[in-house]
Structure 1
């Protein structure tokens, strides 16, 4: 029981730290030629699977709690916004969270072997909600942005 509670608390702590690690490493990674490939990741294409794992609930939490204040650059406030800029910000957020997820996962595996399997597994619970779900949400949002961008290109090509 002790490892369960401590693993969860430690998981929250290291997941918060992983946000900074993700931003720093993403800042370095964005300057490489591989970043273009990373900007088109799509782990879950199925809307049904996203719904089944609770991405819709997670989206509601992000939109209706203090989390909505975290990344103000990812907002569609009016129709005159630059969708490419918003998509780029979503990609930065997505990749940063993925890096954070991997960082905590490696740490959880290490703690599973050195301390306790329960400790390592319970570390992953906050990691999933604080890093994996935000990344999956950004992927879903990017798919929606891509559709809007395609629609805008068609409208510009055929204004009538």
Structure 2
């Protein structure tokens, strides 16, 4: 029974995480029209590079760059040195907030399933949710910090 709940919860979590990407994009499109979006575009959950390394963001980055995930959001690629970094940052913000909305959506479903089905089922749901929604959001935050650093250096050089 325990193994069955784990497998079913994990499978359901994968399905819900993929569905949550669509929910995240739809709600993000609505959220973009509010005055709160500017505040959301500068979220920074983990500022420490050392902590990012400890939780394995570099491994997650490698997976995204070297598997089928690299084909998902083609707007986040640097094509050459003349690529507009502000536009890339904007696309990263869209992706980050969409993933956060998706993470919250699946977390709410997991809470509901935890009450109705069982805590083990809900826990198993959260594993793919963290991997498919929360880690991508953390990766976008790290990449935005790197872009901000480059943009700050560019603006300092032109001033």
**Residues in 2 aligned to 1:127 and 1:70: alpha-carbon distance in whole angstroms:** 17
The one-character-per-residue Cα deviations of 1:89-140 (angstroms, maximum 9, x if unpaired) are 0000000000000000000011001001100000000000000000000000
Pairing 1:4-15 to 2, within 5 Å after superposition: 4-15=6-17
- 1:132 aligned partner: 134
User: Runs in 1 of length 4+ with deviation above 2 angstroms?
Assistant: none
Q: SS in structure 2 opposite 1:43?
A: coil
Structure 1 unpaired stretches of 5+? none
1:73-112 correspondence to structure 2 within 5 Å: 73-112=75-114
**For residues 7-156 of structure 1, what are the structure 2 equivalents within 5 Å?**
7-156=9-158
Superposed CA RMSD: 0.5
Aligned-partner Cα distance in 2 for 1:89–1:136: 14
Secondary structure class of the residue paired with 2:76:
coil
Q: What is the rounded CA distance, in whole Å, between the counterparts of 2:147 and 2:79 in structure 1? A: 14
* TM score, norm. by length of structure 2: 0.98
Say how many residue pairs are matched.
157
State the Cα deviation string for residues 1-35 of structure 1 (Å, max 9, x = none).
Answer: 11110000000000000000000000000010000
1:78 deviates by 1.2
Which structure 2 segments of 5+ residues have no match? none
CA distance in structure 1 between the partners assigned to 2:156 and 2:90 by the alignment: 21
Residues 52-96 of structure 1 deviation map (CA, whole Å, 9 limit, x = unaligned): 000000000000111111111111121111111000000000000
Whole-Å separation in 1 of the counterparts to 2:69 and 2:119: 31
TM-score, normalised to structure 1, is 0.97
